[in-house]
Every structure is written in C-alpha cells, then in structure tokens.
Amino acid sequence: MQVVLASDTHVKSRAPELPAWVREALRAADHVVHAGDFDSRPAYEEIRELAADLTAVGGNMDRALDLPAVATADLGGVRFVVTHGTGPDEGYRQRVAETVADRAAADRPTVGVSGHTHQVLDVRVDGYHLLNPGSATGAWPAQEASLMVAEVDGGDLDVEVRRG
C-alpha cells in the first residue's frame, strides 16, 4: 500500500497552488495523510478530491475547517497517529511523541506524522517513529517543497522523501 504523507500546503497565504508533482503523487496514492495547515477550504477540498482516501487533521491555520486535532489510520499493519504539532519549536518532538503514545496500538507498529515546522523529520523518540514530511509547497520557512511516500505492508514501513 502506498501512503503519501503531506503537510503545510498553505494555499493561498504562502503558496498560490499545489505543485503538479504533488498533485500527481496525491492522485497515485492508495491513501493520503495530511498533517494540517491546508490554510484554506479550497486547498482542503482539492486534496480531498485528489486523494483516493484521506486522513487529515487541522493545523493552527485551519480553524475554519473543523478538522480534528488528532486522527489515526490503520494502514497495511501500521497505525498512523496524525497531529499538526502546533506549538513552539522547543519541545516539538516530545510533544508529538506524547500524542502518539496516547493513541498507539498495542498490536502493531505505531508511527507519528506531524507538520508545523515545515522541516523534514525522520527520527525515533521514546520508541516511536516520527515523520514530518515538510511543506508540500515549500511554504516559508521551508527551503524546498517536500512530501513523503511510504510503502506499507504487513507492518513494515519504507519511507522515501520526495522533493520538488
């Protein structure tokens, strides 16, 4: 199963539109996980239309979208716990790890997906694999557009970062 991890699209406040390569990746995925900051209803609706299946949370710029702060998706034998990670940079990793721990699965690997920093992250904290795909549009303060493509099968996870 191919799962695209995206975040911080910020269309229209920081980026005019989704890049074509991002639209193609979203369309090709079996499931899309978006870790918030769509930044507008049209951006959310476009991603929802492109995705075969979508798990999404709201970021600090998504108050009008009425999305949950945390969501889970069980895909390919892996539990994905999704949160935006809103808050200061200091303590970010620990804050996300605590959210993941609160919703971890006892019977399968659990991975945390977050956004907010616009920086790609692939680390382990407190035994949890934490992923941040960066900003899919390269919205400031990102230096480039990025997302992650995860191949998930039987509890195994292989993650590739794609950059535009």
Q: What is the end-to-end Cα distance of the chain in Å, rounded?
A: 23
Calpha distance 162→164 (Å, rounded): 7
Task: Give the DSSP H/E element, type plus range, for residue 92.
Answer: helix 92-102
- Is 3.40.718.10 the CATH classification of the domain at 2-163? no
Is the pTM above the cut of 0.75? yes
pLDDT per residue rounded down to tens, the chain (164 residues)? 999 999 999 999 999 999 999 999 999 999 999 999 999 999 999 999 999 999 999 999 999 999 999 999 999 999 999 999 999 999 999 999 999 999 999 999 999 999 999 999 999 999 999 999 999 999 999 999 999 999 999 999 999 999 99
Residue 15 · residue 137 · CB < 8 Å: yes
